[in-house]
Structure 1
Amino acid sequence: MARTKEFDPDAALQGALELFWSRGYEATTMADLVEHLGIGRASVYATFGSKHELYMRALERYLETRDPLIVSELSAPGPALPAVRALVRRFAAEAGAEESRLNGCFVTNSAAELAPRDAAVARRVELSWEQVETLLHSALSRARAQGELAEERDPRALARMLLVLLQGLRVVGKASSDPARVRDAAEQALALLG
């Protein structure tokens, strides 16, 4: 007879996400995971596979909780430009907040730490960025069609600029103790929208 799990795999995955998010992949050992999750090494392997597989599942969990918010913000009916502005300002506020500064963005952290040498992480990060860029492009195209954005403005180029800005806000926000730095950068970028 198969033994029943004596722990909640969902809670363990959330715990792994939090540990990887705060420490990064390389600085988190399997011993750290076992201690933090309060479950045996064999249970971690049996439930999640390798440390890398657990990391990938944690990254997916993070995206499942973050991406729907961006979708709802940028896909809401009505004027599109205010939604774009609100998204950029939210990223700047989060990047400048003390609690966010400690961990940063898990996607951005993954891009900086692992994507250059880990194809699976690079693909997942790129997929996330493509989704955000597509949502921004769609919102900016709607804004141009509704007369909120000047006709000569290129929604695709603006979407790419904003994606890079959003990721940059996360990096600078994590390393800087001056929230005005990210707030001012965001406002200057938003000025380009007209």
Structure 2
Amino acid sequence: MARSKEFDPDAVLQSALELFWRRGYEATSMADLVAHLGIGRASIYATYGNKHDLYLKALDRYGEKQNPELVRELSQPGPALPAVRALVRRFAAEAADDTCRTRGCFVTNTAAELAPHDPAAARRVELGWEHLETLLHSALVRARAQDELPADRDPRALARMLLVLMQGLRVVGKASPDPARVRDAAEQALQILN
């Protein structure tokens, strides 16, 4: 008969996500995980696999938590452009906020740290970006159909521009002590939607 786990795998995964998010993949050792999670190495391996497997599961968890919020924000009935503007401004505000900027975005952090040499991490980053781009594209198509956006604007190209801007805001926000830098960039970029 199999022994039941003496820990909550879901809570431990969330705790691992928070540690990886704060420290990054390379700076987090297996000893760090054991100490932070409060479970033994054998339990980590048996439940999640190796450190890399655990990191990927944490990255998946991050996406599961973020995606419904993005869908809700960009899929509300009514005018679509205010929701797009609000999302871009939220990204800028988070990038400029001292509490948020030290952690940054887990997906963006993964893109910078692992994606160039880790195909599994790169695929998850790409899936996250594809999801955000698709949500932005859908909202911009609605905006154009509702005459909020001029007919000559390309919703796909605008969605891609906003995706790159939003990810760039997060990168610059992590390193820049000047919150006006990301806020001003976001506001200038949003002018293209007028």
Quickly name the TM-score band, shorter chain normalised.
over 0.9
- In 2, distance between residues paired with 1:161 and 1:23? 29
Corresponding position of 2:181: 181
Deviations, residues 81-117 of structure 1 (Å, cap 9, x unaligned)? 0010000001111111111111100000000000011
1:45-194 superposed matches below 5 A: 45-194=45-194
For residue 132 of structure 1, give the secondary structure of its aligned residue in structure 2: helix
For residue 129 of structure 1, give the secondary structure of its aligned residue in structure 2: helix
Amino acid at match of 2:95: A
* Aligned structure 1 segments of 4 or more residues deviating by more than 4 angstroms: none
Deviations, residues 16-43 of structure 1 (Å, cap 9, x unaligned)? 0011001111111101000000110000
Amino acid at match of 1:78: G
Q: How much is the aligned-residue C-alpha RMSD, in angstroms?
A: 0.7
Cα distance, 1:120 vs structure 2: 0.6
Cα distance, 1:136 vs structure 2: 0.6
For residue 130 of structure 1, give the secondary structure of its aligned residue in structure 2: helix
Cα distance, 1:6 vs structure 2: 1.2
Corresponding position of 2:11: 11
Deviations, residues 114-139 of structure 1 (Å, cap 9, x unaligned)? 00111111111101101111111111
- In 1, distance between residues paired with 2:43 and 2:54? 12
- In 2, distance between residues paired with 1:173 and 1:66? 19
Q: Which residues of structure 1 form unaligned runs of 5+?
A: none
For residue 193 of structure 2, give the secondary structure of its aligned residue in structure 1: coil
Amino acid at match of 1:135: L
**Sequence identity (%):** 77
1:33 has 2:33 as partner: yes
Q: Which residues of structure 2 form unaligned runs of 5+?
A: none
- In 2, distance between residues paired with 1:6 and 1:55? 21
Deviations, residues 136-181 of structure 1 (Å, cap 9, x unaligned)? 1111111111110011111111000000000001101111111111
